[in-house]
Amino acid sequence: MRWIWIDRFLEFQPGRSARAVKNLSLAEDYFADHFPGFPVMPAALILEGLAQTGGILVGEANDFREKVVLAKIPSARFHREALAGEQLVYEVELVHLRPEGAAVKGRALAGDDLLAEAEIFFAHLDQARSQQLFGDQNFVFSGELKHMLGLAKVLADRTDGKSTNGP
C-alpha cells in the first residue's frame, strides 16, 4: 500500500512553510467503511496529511539527513468533516527547528472552510542510536515522500514554468 496522503505541493518555502493539496475521491478504500452512506475522511488521516506536509518541510530544512519522526501532537481541533469529492489544502508553517527536533503548526482547509488545525511535533532520531537500530539508510525519506517535492517541481514547471506556487 502506498502511504502517501498528499497529492502534491502547491507551495514550498524551505525552512518556513508549505502548502499541499489532497483530493478526496470516493474510490479511496476507507470511504466504504467510514461510514456507509456517509463518506467522510477519518480525522486521523487528515492529521497524517498535515504531518506528511510538515515532515517534508522539516526534513528538507536539513537536506533530508535527519530521520524525522512524528513524536507528538500536543493539540488538534476538528471543525467539520472532510467529505468525498472535496479538495483539501494543507497549510503548514515551521515554528521551531533545533538539532533535536521541530514543531509545526498546520491547518486543513476545504475552500474557505477551516476543517482542522493542529500542532505537530517531530523528533530527529538520535543519529548514533538510530544508526545502530536502523543502519545508515534514512528510512523516513527513502523514496516516496522525498519524491513528492521533485514531483511538485516538475508539475509547476509544466504549468507556469517558474516556481511551485499554487493555482
Partner 1 sequence: MPSQDEIYTKVSATLVEALNVDEDEIKPTSTLQGDLGAESIDFLDIVFRLEREFGIKIPRGELFPESIFQGDPEFVQNGKVTDKGLAELRARMPFADLSKFEANPDLSAISDLFTVEMITRYIEGKLGEPSNN
Judged by the rule CB under 8 A, the positions of this chain that interact with partner 1 are 71-72, 74-75, 95-96, 98-101, 103, 121, 123
Of 25 and 75, which CB lies nearer to partner 1 in the complex structure? Answer: 75
Buried b (16+ CB within 10 A) or exposed e, 127-161: eeebeeeeeeebebbeeebbebbeebeeebeeeee
Q: Nearest approach, Cβ of 95 to partner 1 (angstroms)?
A: 8
Of 61 and 71, which CB lies nearer to partner 1 in the complex structure? Answer: 71
Active-site positions read 34
Q: Nearest approach, Cβ of 66 to partner 1 (angstroms)?
A: 14
d(CA 72, CA 105): 12
Q: Nearest approach, Cβ of 81 to partner 1 (angstroms)?
A: 24
CA distances from 18 to 115, 134, 136, 159 (A): 17, 29, 28, 19
Of 102 and 108, which CB lies nearer to partner 1 in the complex structure? Answer: 102
Of 61 and 123, which CB lies nearer to partner 1 in the complex structure? Answer: 123
The two beta strands, 87-98 and 101-110, are: antiparallel
Q: Nearest approach, Cβ of 69 to partner 1 (angstroms)?
A: 10
d(CA 106, CA 117): 6
d(CA 93, CA 102): 11
